Amino acid sequence: MKNLFPFILFFFSTSLFAQQTWTLQQCLEYAEQHNSQLQKVKNVHLISEQNVLQSKGAFLPVINATATQNYNMGRSIDPFTNIYINQQVRSNNFSLNGSLVLFNGFLLQNSLKQSKDDLRAAENDIDQYRFELSLNIVQAYLSILMNEEKVRNTELQAQTTKAVYERTNKLKESGILTNSAALDVYAQWKTEEAAAIQAKNDLDLSHLNLGLLLELSDPLSIRIVRPPEIDNKQTLSYSTPEQVMTNAVDQIPSLKSLAYKQQSATHAYYASKGRYYPKLTLNGSLSTLYSTSGKTVQTLDTPSGSRTIGYTETTGEMVVTPIYTSIISDKAFGSQLKDNYYKFVGFTLTIPVLNGLQVRTSVHRAQIALSQADLDFNLAKLSLQRTIYTAFYQARGSEAKLSALNQSFTATQESYRSAEKRFDNGIINSVEFSQVKTKYTQSQSDLLQAKYDFIFKNAILDIYSGQPLDIQ
């Protein structure tokens, strides 16, 4: 299923009959771009891509920068002296903090593997929806082809019966046939006209169905190309269901998706077990601060005076000391940042001791999820086998039915032609002719349905085996 649609070669036409006619390939390509549900599935894939990126980012250090501006009014602690002051203080704190997980029981490694498996599963989920959408489009496309052919057949039958009625009416006027015989043929003609009207209605509904699948603004406007070789496909492409099953296991996106979900559940289990182990983290920080309470003191070199500090004991002489004047000013912003610069580095070892059984229950849930993923894969594989075997035997039965109905239609067609001549010659009456015509009409209808039923069932086997559809 590497290609967007492995069966876009289902039909091929050398030219388009009109601007609005669609090949199957065009239908599939248009649905790829415009189907809303498919776009939603693609968005899930985009989310999975971001989860992988986030898991990779978990290996990088966590670094945060902070800056604060605070106003303290009233009694507060001076950040420089650590004593209480009673004044308005504006302060700023700047810090850069970082941490790096060095070891946590391989939780990050398993989480990354889990997210990558989820991404691959999401990719296959897209392919699986394409697969299912394409099956629906193929079925709707074949339904249009069948109903187009049905319209042609019913209109031709009605026209033929109309011609028979016109001949019958002339024979009635000439006295060869009774009025009752003419009325019987007239009733047959109008019944077939009603069948043609119903066939046209069925064709409109099949156009509507395909148009809605493609989400066209005018669903009923779609018209399709009829593949030239479609009537030649009457032989099954596979001899045994195992022949299909062997390829299907490697081709079906849903199985691939479930296989990746198995691996994802395995990594999730081991990631949860990693929480039993100690966690070692490297921490570091840089910080500094500024405050309006920060002051700088500058003492003048020249004394501004002197003061007595005592007298000598022997002579009683006065002892003085010079008085220096100090100028107190606000400390500059840059100087405070430089003087208050602080660095820190350290290791933190976190050992889980008791956490309310959170780790234990998390591990057990992951183990159950892993078992569930295994069961989902096995059940899906069994379901696929059942589907393929059923489709194969249905297709084989449809092949045999088609062959028998071909022979039956040939016989009833010859019988109808003979009955038409005998009726014109007055050898059989209108009731007998109507009975032969009804059998012929029913045989034609049965053959038409059997033909397209076989084509679709054989196409299902082609799709499941990942092969281009053999209806070129």
240-273 tens-digit pLDDT = 888 788 777 777 888 899 999 999 999 999 999 9
How many domains is the chain built from?
2
Q: What whole-number distance in Å separates Cα of residue 102 and Cα of residue 106?
A: 10
Are residues 245 and 134 both part of a single domain? yes
Same domain, 253 and 305: no
Establish if 5 belongs to a structural domain.
Answer: no
**Dist. CA 245–CA 392, nearest whole Å:** 10
- Return mean pLDDT, the chain: 84
**The Cα angle at residue 218 between residues 213 and 221, in degrees rounded to 5:** 90
Query: CATH code at 434?
Result: 1.20.1600.10
Does one domain contain both 151 and 299? no
1 has a pLDDT exceeding 50: no
Both 242 and 151 in one domain: the answer is yes
Same-domain pairing of 404 and 266: yes
Evaluate whether residue 346 is within a structural domain. Answer: no
Highest mean pLDDT among 186-195, 280-289, 390-399: 280-289
Same domain, 303 and 231: no
Domain assignment present for residue 251? The answer is yes
Is 60 exceeded by the pLDDT of residue 27?
Answer: yes
In a domain, 375, yes or no: yes
Q: Is residue 305 part of a domain?
A: yes
Same domain? For 312 and 398 the reply is no
Higher-confidence residue: 382 or 458?
A: 382
Position 65 scores a pLDDT of: 95
Q: Which two tokens stand for residue 145?
A: 């082809």
Mean pLDDT calculated for residue range 222-226: 89
Tell me: do 177 and 299 sit in the same domain: no
Does 452 fall in a domain?
Answer: yes
Is residue 122 domain-shared with residue 188, that is, in the same domain?
yes
> Do both 368 and 261 map to the same domain?
yes
In SS3 terms, 344-365 reads as EEEEEEECCCCCCCHHHHHHHH
Within the chain, what is the greatest distance between any pair of CA atoms? 177
- The answer as to whether 87 is a domain residue is no
Q: Is residue 188 part of a domain?
A: yes
Q: Does 199 share its domain with 255?
A: yes
Q: Which domain holds residue 271?
A: 21-34+104-277+352-464
Same domain, 262 and 308: no
Give the list of residues 6+ apart from residue 70 with CB closer than 8 angstroms, or none: 90, 91, 92, 93
* Residue 5, token pair as written in the block: 């649609």
